[in-house]
Structure 1
């Protein structure tokens, strides 16, 4: 069974009603990104950071996977599919995907500010004074700017085994996630799905661009792969 590795970004979840990570004006849901997605921002104003992610968590609990998520689940009938996502939502898992690696953390988890290995499932609001088993303040289980990406090595290893690479809804400008394409085997077929592609056929060998939103793009892709 051929191995498909799928790299997904914000465009994957946009049709579910989750806004893309950053708008063109550099804001994320009306906030400067470094205010709510950096260790410095957290130290400066933890209440703002907590409320920001509380709002994102409430929103996530109210939305559902879209057709693109289910299309990737459908591919598991024919291929060994592994997903590496930049998204912090759980919509891949909710749709039924069985192998998902979250590069940038998970919104429905929190961790200790003292011990990164203490990670808890969390479906409610998080506040100052919420402590983990180590009696230390909890924080969102999110990889912020300036922090290490702990799942990167696993993602590199997974990508290096791909027989087919699919990229959906990402600008290919957020590193180190964008660098994963450099670890595929030579001549591995690449399918890039995005309504506004940021790469061209000159950038990679064996690249096919599907200029469409995630749901319709994955519909077309499945037709191609089943041939």
Structure 2
């Protein structure tokens, strides 16, 4: 039976493909305040601004490609039972070839109704005022905004609790509740970290399991180590 390798990925892996993150802009997300484009209150105040913002981000997905780190993670499925828990809302893990992915913060390529607990629908076009969900209500991006529940969290915790190996890649571990997933891994689970800027990696893993590198450079080293050590 293949060992279960669970991966928690964050903005750092997508940044190498050219996806911008709000942390690069001192609290501004592509020149917008987070409160204006990533909260229910912001959507209520100015739905057009919010829709325009996510439409632009959705269109950007057609201009970027998965990078080597995405592809190497997908290749590990030949050797491990790989599950990815990602904070990213892009589809680069899917396009890189990974097959088991939990999107904690939603997905740019999906939409839902402004009503709570609505059915999620695939949506790759711009969302405009007047575009309706099958339930008759206005569509909004399928994004978990600040102040909203994280519906996939229970599933992520369940997967993490079964991990034999756990990899943290491209995340500062400062975003909650996503970062709390690590609390649920089993005591026997080996933890690896790839991040060039993590402030205190020793709180997550041993020195030899920390790769102070970009997602791509770290994965080039770690992939072979995992295969040689755990196969």
TM-score norm. by structure 2 comes to: 0.95
Kept in 2, the 8 Å contact 1:197–1:209? The answer is no
Q: Equivalent residue of 2:129, what SS?
A: coil
How much has 1:118 moved relative to structure 2?
Answer: 1.7
Measure, in 1, the Cα distance between the counterparts of 2:170 and 2:33: 22
User: 2:165 corresponds to which residue?
Assistant: 164
Matched, 1:100 2:98: no
Residue segments in structure 1 that go unaligned for 5+ positions in a row? none
TM-score norm. by structure 1 comes to: 0.96
Total equivalences in the alignment: 226
CA pair 42-68 structure 1, distance change in 2 beyond 3 A: same
**Runs of 4+ displaced beyond 4 Å:** none
User: 2:55 corresponds to which residue?
Assistant: 54
Kept in 2, the 8 Å contact 1:172–1:178? The answer is yes
User: 1:18 corresponds to which residue?
Assistant: 19
User: 1:184 corresponds to which residue?
Assistant: 185
Residue segments in structure 2 that go unaligned for 5+ positions in a row? none
User: 2:87 corresponds to which residue?
Assistant: 86
User: 2:126 corresponds to which residue?
Assistant: 125
Measure, in 2, the Cα distance between the counterparts of 1:28 and 1:173: 17
Measure, in 2, the Cα distance between the counterparts of 1:140 and 1:100: 19
Q: Alpha-carbon deviations, 1:124-152, whole Å to 9, x = none?
A: 11111000111110000000000000000
CA pair 176-85 structure 1, distance change in 2 beyond 3 A: same
User: 2:204 corresponds to which residue?
Assistant: 204
Kept in 1, the 8 Å contact 2:54–2:108? The answer is yes
How much has 1:95 moved relative to structure 2?
Answer: 1.1
How much has 1:100 moved relative to structure 2?
Answer: 0.3
How much has 1:185 moved relative to structure 2?
Answer: 0.6
Measure, in 2, the Cα distance between the counterparts of 1:217 and 1:27: 28
Matched, 1:174 2:175: yes
Kept in 2, the 8 Å contact 1:5–1:82? The answer is yes
Which region of structure 1 is more displaced relative to structure 2, 54-63 or 145-154?
Answer: 54-63
